[in-house]
Structure 1
């Protein structure tokens, strides 16, 4: 008995797209808070606590963003360059919001 042929196109992504969208927004909001609130508080307000807390949270959430993005990229068959650009979007303020819209349009 032969196995069915695999299609070369994207496969259904199911829950992966909403999960990616959630983590893209969480990562984006965390990075915006870090860059535009916590870092100024550290250097202008002499209070390093927001940077320590928000920075650590953003780091952990960015790791989850990487995993979720890679799972979606594999399922939706992103090119390696596109997947890398989407991953890097989590390190540039506001870029994860733009990437989320592009990924959503591409997958849908």
Structure 2
């Protein structure tokens, strides 16, 4: 598997996971009464957003380099960017990107790629 493609996939899953955890934390923090155990758990999950932000910036750079190497248009890159900001969307986009790269640019994926 190509290093860039593998890095993109790993970052996509990390960003997606952090986004889901952060969203659950947000709902717990603001959706439950103050002082409750669920609200406190949501408050403790707040730092996840900082980690998500930093990892997301690296994800955007890798996604940009990948789209440039694949020769894809700007809207495809923008979809990849937005996917890191909408809970669960990144998992669908990552799957579509992997399928398109395998079909259009197998040299970027590598010959030993396992699905």
The aligned residue for residue 19 of structure 2 is: 31
2:17 is the alignment partner of 1:17: no
Cα displacement (A) at 1:49: 2.6
Structure 1 residue 93 and structure 2 residue 87: aligned?
yes
TM-score (norm 1): 0.81
Q: After TM superposition, give the deviation of residue 50 of structure 1 in Å.
A: 1.1
- Return the offset for 1:78: 1.3
1:51-99 CA distances to partner (integer Å, 9 max, x unpaired)?
1x11111111111110110111111111111111111100000111001
Question: Which runs of at least 4 in structure 1 moved beyond 4 Å after TM superposition?
Answer: none
- In structure 2, stretches of 5+ residues that fail to align are 33-37, 103-115
Matched, 1:76 2:70: yes
CA-based RMSD of the aligned residues comes to 1.4
Contact 1:41 1:50 in 2 (8 A): no
CA distance in 1, matches of 2:82, 2:63: 11
The normalised TM-score by structure 2 is 0.76
Partner of 2:28, secondary structure, is helix
Q: Say if 2:37 is the partner of 1:42.
A: no
